[in-house]
Amino acid sequence: MDETACRTLLCFDLSNAAGFHAQLTGILAGLAFTSIVLILQSSTLSGRGAEAGLLSFSSALISLLIAAFLYGTAAGEERLAGRLAILVFLAGAASAVAVLELFYGLTWLVRAGGFPNATEMMARMSALVIPLITFVYLAITALNHISISTGRDAVGSSVSVFMSLLTLLLVLVLLLVQLLWAAEKLGRLALWCASRLGPEPWLSLVSVGVALAAGIGGGIILQLEPTITAPDWLIGAIMTMWFGFDCVVVLLVRAIDTEAKPRQLPDPEPALSSRDVVDYGLKH
């Protein structure tokens, strides 16, 4: 047997990597819990920013705990088959939504601290970088599932082309947001989206809902055969919904930066001097 040959189609041990991912998500869960305690004990952080940050870190904590459980369960799989790949994908979805929540809450905390310039930089990072990273991670995880479950190279398949187009479209959207970041119309759109959805509770509820769905789905998958596979159309539908979710998150984060900046009021007219008053009286 050739020792240099890969044992799997991916040349990547998902089961072994899942154990390290479980440790990482556990560490992030600890950081989220610590942030919650610090907010509750802080005497300087208060108001809407602190409340939004508290909700975001709380939902991130729940999502990370579920992701750690799913990754740990995947690490115990004996066969490199479809069930393992599905568990890793579900764990990736729970951890990705938690990372989005962590940076969303961090942006609110920076705003609550009264740092407008830092708020803009953190908002740009949370809106333009983190959604793209999480989307690409989920797309790669989905392609891994296709390769493992079908035994064929996912690169060049219809699902691969579809997700590549979605990724390219997301990049174009983020570039457009970056170019129009200071535009007043984009700020109004972001504020309208935030006012319609109710940014803090809506995003937290969706994040916890995604994590709970992943956890319940993982529990059901464990009762099935190791060789079970998910259809390509289902993966494509999930990634499409995730694309829309990322776009909404971008607008909600942009709304934080818009609200953090003071509105420019028109300059008041200069007060009339006593001489001007006398001259006005003589003329009339």
Answer whether 101's CB lies under 8 Å from 204's CB.
yes
Question: Averaged in consecutive runs of 10 residues, what is the pLDDT profile of the chain (284 residues)?
Answer: 52 80 91 88 72 87 93 86 87 92 88 80 87 88 78 67 84 83 74 64 84 91 84 85 86 75 48 50 52
pLDDT at position 267:
44
Judge contact between 80 and 149, C-beta under 8 A. Answer: no
DSSP 8-state symbol, 265: P
**What DSSP state is assigned to residue 261?**
S
Question: Domains in the chain, start-ordered, CATH in brackets?
Answer: 14-260 (1.20.120)
pLDDT value at residue 190: 74
Residue (of 231, 132, 250) closest to 187 by Cα position? 250
pLDDT of the residue at 259? 64
pLDDT for 278: 47
d(CA 260, CA 281): 46
As a whole number of angstroms, the longest Cα–Cα distance in the chain is 110
Place of tokens 């059901």: 220
Q: Give the pLDDT confidence score for residue 277 in this predicted structure.
A: 45
Given CA atoms 79, 83, 89, 95 in this order, what sign does their dihedral have? negative
* pLDDT in the model for residue 95: 93
pTM here is 0.82
The total number of residues written for the chain in this structure = 284
Q: How many CB atoms lie within 10 A of CB 52?
A: 23
Q: Residue 196's pLDDT is what?
A: 66
